[in-house]
Amino acid sequence: MKVLIVGGVAGGASAAARLRRLDESAEIIIFERSGYVSYANCGLPYYIGGVIEDSEELTLQSPQSFKERFNIDVRIKQEVTAVDRAKKRVAVRDIATGKEYFESYDKLILSPGARPFVPALRSVDMKNIFTLRTVEDTLAIRQAATRRGVKRAVVIGGGFIGVETAENLKEAGLEVYLIQRGDHILPPIDGDMASMLHAHIIKNGVNLMLNSDVECFEESGSEIRVILKDAQPIMCDMVVMAVGVMPDATLAAEAGLGLGAKGSIAVDEHMRTSDPDIYAVGDAVSIVNTATGKRAVIALAGPANKQGRIAADNIAGIERSYLGSPASSVIKIFDMTAAFVGLNEGSAAAAGIAYDKIIISPASHASYYPGGRTMTIKALFAREDNRILGAQIVGYDGVDKRLDIISAAMQAGLKITDLADLDLAYAPPYASAKDPVNMLGFVAQNVTEGRMKQFFVEDIPSLPERAILLDTRTREEYEEGHAEGFDKNIPVDELRSRLSELDRTRPVYVMCQTGLRSYIACRILAQNGFDCYNFAGGYRFYHSVRRGENLKNCSTDCGK
């Protein structure tokens, strides 16, 4: 059996190695148009910032190591230009020499990945305007960033690559502007959660500009003038375009294969395309988003690696299905971490799902053990059946652990209330006896079983005029800052003795620092005849969101 693989990196390289382990006699050839067949795509920004010092560390396998270990023929700088399905062959062009030739196949795996989306802006092809997708890209950006006299960089786009590149350019010693067209970075999470990240990015010296549109670029001597809509131009030495990626499905489309969401390659659960002898994997395909049950493009390394393995299994005669992905993701932002899985509020609403949400702010580990930091967790669940729809976590240590638990729970079909019953590892340096994930389940039980009514940041402007707005923190905390309109302060430990100060005929909306003391207050009030609502997330969350509103409405350089 002869198997050709178009594209290496995560999907293609994984498929090749797995296939060899299953079939020692197969002839396997990988065609890779770049100069690197298997590299740490997700590590590229960290070479720019010097966290990864040696560029060779980015390379996981070379053509030579593939040959020596797996007896696989890897041909770098070879571009497959066409697929002839009738003759079961591909056309290949040697990029260095221009020579063209054909190679036949019994089975073909397409792993072309995605290509950076570059908007049609004037002079976008100028020197020192980069995209970041390959090792060659990161080498060029690192070289440009370390040139003598280079002081300022502009990164356009606040997704994964944009945020990581901005951080690493800042770590490399440059003044950095991060420009995002929307009102918050990292679109997979909601704006309220992103507000904490905005503050942290600015604290670390990046000039963050939200709601900002780039119109074009102009050359100004050795510098680039970035022209913005409704804002002053920015002069810089280099620009990195990171506004997103698109599935590279050109080969598949020209070969007449079926296409899916966003022009991606359509595949079945076995990673087969509409041609039974052609498989496709990675960023170029559309798969089932398990949070919605619908097909979507999920350009992540984890799914790509699994898909490559599954394609190889099926080619080798092992029937295996890819079940889809909830798009579990995590990102480092200086010393903070943000992680997310499944749906956010916008995507849940767009999918027509009636949902509820929980926001908590637990400590990363036992509060009495030194070093614990607060994290904020936001979880969405379906009102109809309490199915977990998604989660977002922002904090420091322990964020990835909790996100992974929730992701696994989603894939296992657990309900939000089932999180209360999970038996999770505990020791003071790592967690609390009631883990933050358990706490989500406890709060969900209270909400779904009617013991706690919630209100949220967006509800505050429309609270009833006759409502009592109560802050249950200490006097010292209250005087340092409190939410607008929350003019009544009764510390929770004094509440039972001061109930006479409150009118039982009026609804009471309660806030504390993280949501715990206000919940205790609500239990006291509810059992004393009050109609009580607990603020989700606490004043800490409220303050972050409100502070972020000023930045959202800023169309100039809010980072200074």
| Active-site annotation, residues | 42
- Long-range contacts from 20-28, C-beta under 8 angstroms, 24+ separation: 20/70, 20/71, 20/72, 22/312, 22/313, 22/316, 22/318, 23/316, 25/1, 26/1, 26/2, 27/1, 27/2, 27/3, 27/73, 28/3, 28/70, 28/71, 28/72, 28/73
Provide the β-strand partners of residue 116: 245
Q: Closest Cα partner for 373 from 296, 436, 310? A: 436
The radius of gyration of the chain from alpha carbons, rounded to an integer in Å, stands at 26
Rounded distance, CA 311 to CA 13, Å? 12
Rounded distance, CA 342 to CA 390, Å? 4
List CB contacts of 479: < 8 A, sequence separation 6 or more: none
DSSP result, 14-45: HHHHHHHHH-TT-EEEEEESSS-SEE-GGGHH
Provide the H-helix boundaries in 215-337: 250-254, 301-315
Rounded distance, CA 165 to CA 329, Å? 17
Q: Closest Cα partner for 176 from 186, 161, 165, 187? A: 165
Rounded distance, CA 323 to CA 313, Å? 14
DSSP result, 443-485: HHHHHHTTS--EE-GGGGGGS-TT-EEEE-S-HHHHHH---TT
